[in-house]
Structure 1
Amino acid sequence: MVVAVDAEGYGRGDDLRHDSIQSGLAQVMDRGAREAGLRREIWTRQEAGDGEVIVLPQGEPELRVIDDLVRRVRKALHDHNRERRDDARLRIRIAIGHGVVKRGAMGFVGQVVVTTCRLLNAQAARTALKENPRADLVLTLTDLLYEDVVRQLHTSYRPESFIRLEVPTKERTEIAWMWIPSEDLDQKGTLNMDNLPEVADTLWALIAGGALERLGAYGTESGLGGARKLLAKIKEFRSEQGRPADPESRDDLLESLEELVRVDAAVKQFAQQFNADQMTVNLISAPISGEEINFGIRN
C-alpha cells in the first residue's frame, strides 16, 4: 500500500514557515500512526520537505491505514491548528493506492506510486482544499481501493460521502474518489463516524480497567448509562454472529461498533449518549497499561 502526503502552501512560505510545516507534519503523522495502532518506524518513506511518499510493509493492516490513520491524522491536525491563525494552519492532501512497489536507484518504482502521486497533486484535490477552508485535509483514493474497500462497507466511511473524480494524465484518465471531511470536531456531545475510534478507546479502557464493575461503589454510575447499554448491545450483536460476546481487544471492539452502528439506530443513540457523558462527567482515573488515563472532562 502507498500513502502520499503533501502540505498546502509550502512554496509560498519563508524558511521559518518551511520549518514549521515540516515539524508539524512529522508530529501529526507520528501521532496519527501511533493512535491508529500502526508502526511508523517500519514504514519505508521518501521525504520531500512538504510531504512524503510512504510504502507500508506487509503486516500493516490496510483497513486501519485507510480508516483509522486518516481519521487520527485529521484529529491531530485539528489539535495542531486549534490555536493558530488561519494563515498558519497546517493543511494537507492525502492519497492512497495499492499495488506492487520496489526500491529503485533513486526512489520507489511502481505504477501505483505514479498513480497515487498524480492523485495527490490533482487540481481537483488542490481546489477542494482551497474551497473548503475549514477542512484540515482532503483524502483521495484510487478507484480500486474505493470499489473494493469503501463501497463494500469495510470501513467507517459512507460511500456516498465520496466524490468521483476524473483525473487526466498523459496516458489515460484516472478514476479516483475524494473525501472532504465536513463534521465539526469541536461540536460537543454529537456522534459521527470520526468519533467512533475515540468511543472505542474510552470504552475499552473502562472495560480493561474493570471500571464498569466497580463504579457503583463510587456513586458515579449515572455517568455510565451509555457505556453499559452500549456494551450490552455489542455483546448481543457478537453473540448473534456466533462470535465471543466479549471483545478481545480495542480493535475488535471498534470493528463490532462500526458494524453495529450501520444496522442499529439504537446503538448510535447509546454511543452518542456515551460520547456526551465523556464530555460532561468526570468519570474515573484508572491505570491502563501502566499509564494514567483520565476520562471525562477534557482540557
Structure 2
Amino acid sequence: MRHPERRLLVCVDMERYSRRTNLQQYEAQHDFHRLLREAAGDVGMDRVGWTTQQSGDGELAILPHDIPEARVIGRFVPELNRLLRRYNASRLPAARIRLRVAVHQGMVHLDGANGFPGQAVVLVSRLCDAEPVRRALAAFPEAGIALVVSADIYRDVVTEYPEELRPDRFRRIDVVHASKGFQEPAWLCVVDEDLASWVDGSPESNPPAGDTSDVSARRSRAIRDGDIPAPGGIRTGDITVEGQNAIGPGATAIGSIGRDANLGGGTDR
C-alpha cells in the first residue's frame, strides 16, 4: 500500500440523467466530457493529468498537486457554467446538461483496488449527492451548476481567493444523510444566481402541520435571547411581559436572569 496523498477532489453529477433515453444518455456522456475538457483548457488546466473515477452520469476527479485550488473554484467552475448555459440555450429541457459540483480536499489513496479509499472521497461524494444541492439547482431552471464546497474549502479558498465567485453568494447548509450517520456543514451557491431569493421548501425546513414544538422552542429561545420581541407583549428595561392582556393570569415575563418568571398564577413554561 502506498502512502495516501493530500489532494483536491472534485465530484460532478448530472441532473436527471436516469430520465433520459438511451440515445440522450449517450449524447450527454459525450458532451459532458467535451465541456469539462473545454472549460479546463480555457483556464489553463490540462484534463489529461486528472485522475478520475467515471460513472455514467458523472465523475470523481483527483487533481494534480500543481493545480491551484483558487483556479478550480474561481475560474474553472464559472467557465464551465458559461459553457453549460450556452449549450443548454439551444436544447429542450430533457436534453440539457446541468451539474452538481462538489469540491473538498483531503487524504486519499490513489492505489485502491476498486476506487480511491479515503474519508475525503466519502465526504465529497456525500456533498455532491446532498438534497439541498439538488433542490437549489432545480429551483433555478436556467442555471448550469450548483456548487457545494466543504467548510475547509470555503474558509481557505472562497473567502481568501474568490476570483469570480464572491463569498457572499454562498449559503451555509447542513448536509445530512441520516441512514449513513452523516452530517456535515457545507457552503452552497448556484453559479450566477442569487440564493438570497431561494426558499428551501424541504420537509426538514417545514415541520408537518400540527407539529409546532420545534418552532415554538426556537421562538421561545429567540425571545429569551432578545433576538425578536415578544408579539403583543410589553417590554420594560430588560423584562418582557407576554400574554393576552400583558399582565394577568397566564401571562409570562421573560427577563435577563435567564429563565421565565410566571405571573398571575399561570403554569411555568
TM range (shorter): 0.5 to 0.7
Please list, as runs of the form range in 1=range in 2, the aligned pairs for 1:183-202 lying within 5 A after superposition. Answer: none
1:52 aligns with 2:59: yes
Instruction: Provide the residue aligned with 2:46 in structure 1.
Output: 39
2: distance between equivalents of 1:44 and 1:173? 27
Please list, as runs of the form range in 1=range in 2, the aligned pairs for 1:1-299 lying within 5 A after superposition. Answer: 1-103=8-110, 104-169=112-177, 170-182=180-192
Tell me whether 19-28 or 146-155 shows the greater mean CA deviation.
146-155
**SS of residue in 2 equivalent to 1:100:** strand
Q: Deviations over 1:228-255 (max 9, x none)?
A: xxxxxxxxxxxxxxxxxxxxxxxxxxxx
- Which structure 2 residue ranges, 5 or more long, are not aligned? 1-7, 195-269
Shift of 1:59: 0.8
Shift of 1:87: 2.4
Shift of 1:101: 1.1
1: distance between equivalents of 2:12 and 2:35? 11
Instruction: Provide the residue aligned with 2:249 in structure 1.
Output: none
Q: Deviations over 1:175-213 (max 9, x none)?
A: 0001112359xxxxxxxxxxxxxxxxxxxxxxxxxxxxx
The answer to which structure has the higher strand fraction is: 2
AA paired with 1:18? Answer: Q
- Which structure 1 residue ranges, 5 or more long, are not aligned? 185-299
Q: Is the 1:125–1:178 contact (alpha carbons within 8 Å) kept by the matching residues of 2?
A: yes
**TM-score normalized with structure 2 length:** 0.66
Shift of 1:153: 4.1
2: distance between equivalents of 1:8 and 1:127? 11
The answer to which structure has the higher helix fraction is: 1
AA paired with 1:181? Answer: V
**TM-score normalized with structure 1 length:** 0.59
The verdict on how the C-alpha distance between 1:154 and 1:81 changes in structure 2, with shifts beyond 3 A counting, is closer
**SS of residue in 2 equivalent to 1:109:** coil
AA paired with 2:123? Answer: T
**SS of residue in 2 equivalent to 1:107:** coil
Q: Is the 1:3–1:55 contact (alpha carbons within 8 Å) kept by the matching residues of 2?
A: yes
1: distance between equivalents of 2:10 and 2:22? 26
The verdict on how the C-alpha distance between 1:129 and 1:183 changes in structure 2, with shifts beyond 3 A counting, is closer
Aligned length: 184
AA paired with 1:54? Answer: A
Give me the CA root mean square deviation: 1.5
1: distance between equivalents of 2:86 and 2:182? 39
Q: Deviations over 1:113-157 (max 9, x none)?
A: 100000000001111111111111100000100011112244332
Q: Higher RCO, 1 or 2 (CA under 8 Å, sep at least 6)?
A: 2
- Aligned-residue identity in percent: 37
2: distance between equivalents of 1:82 and 1:156? 22
1: distance between equivalents of 2:128 and 2:93? 22
The verdict on how the C-alpha distance between 1:91 and 1:174 changes in structure 2, with shifts beyond 3 A counting, is same
AA paired with 1:138? Answer: A
Greater Rg over alpha carbons, structure:
2
Shift of 1:94: 0.4
1: distance between equivalents of 2:123 and 2:146? 17
